[in-house]
């Protein structure tokens, strides 16, 4: 009886692993994903929001220096 249970459990684990690998397909490396996110966040489209939000330069600003 115990042998049957052990074989059954082993079979279930093997089937679960096979299904998991079959469904997963080619997985992307975490480095690729984060690099893609990083580059996408620097795209002109992503930056447009900030550019549009910032007010035009103040012509009355008499302190021209910047640091």
Partner 1 sequence: MARDLAIDLGTANTLVYMKGKGIVLNEPSVIALNRQTGEVLATGREAWQMIGRTPGYIVAVRPLRGGAITDFEITERMIRLLLQRVGVSRFTRPKVVICVPSAITEVERRAVTDAARRAGAADAQLIEQPMAAAIGADLPIDEPVGNMVIDVGGGTSETAVISLGGIVALEAVRVGSFDIDAQIQAYVRREHGIAIGERTAEEVKVAIGSAAETEDESQAEVRGRDLMTGLPKTVVLTPEEIRFAIDDVVSSIIASVVRCLAKAPPELAQDFLVRGMYLVGGGGLLRGLAQRIEKETQVPVRMSNMPLEAVVMGAGHCIEHYDALKGMFMGARR
Least Å distance between CB 28 and partner 1?
A: 16
- Give percent helix, percent strand, percent coil of the chain, each to the nearest 5: 65, 0, 35
* CB-nearer residue toward partner 1: 23 or 64: 64
Return the structure tokens found at 43. Answer: 């795209």
Q: Which stretch binds partner 1 (CB under 8 A): 6-14, 16-24, 42-50?
A: 42-50
26 CB-side CA count, 13 A: 1
Among 22, 58, 59, 60, binds partner 1 (CB under 8 A): 58
Binding residue for partner 1, selected from 27, 57, 59, 60, defined by CB under 8 A: 57
């Amino acid at each position: 009886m115990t042998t049957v249970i052990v074989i059954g459990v082993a079979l279930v684990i093997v089937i679960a692993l096979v299904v998991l690998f079959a469904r997963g397909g080619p997985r992307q490396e975490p480095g690729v994903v984060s690099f893609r996110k990083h580059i996408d966040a620097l795209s002109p489209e992503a930056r447009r929001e900030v550019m549009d939000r910032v007010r035009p330069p103040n012509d009355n600003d008499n302190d021209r220096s910047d640091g």
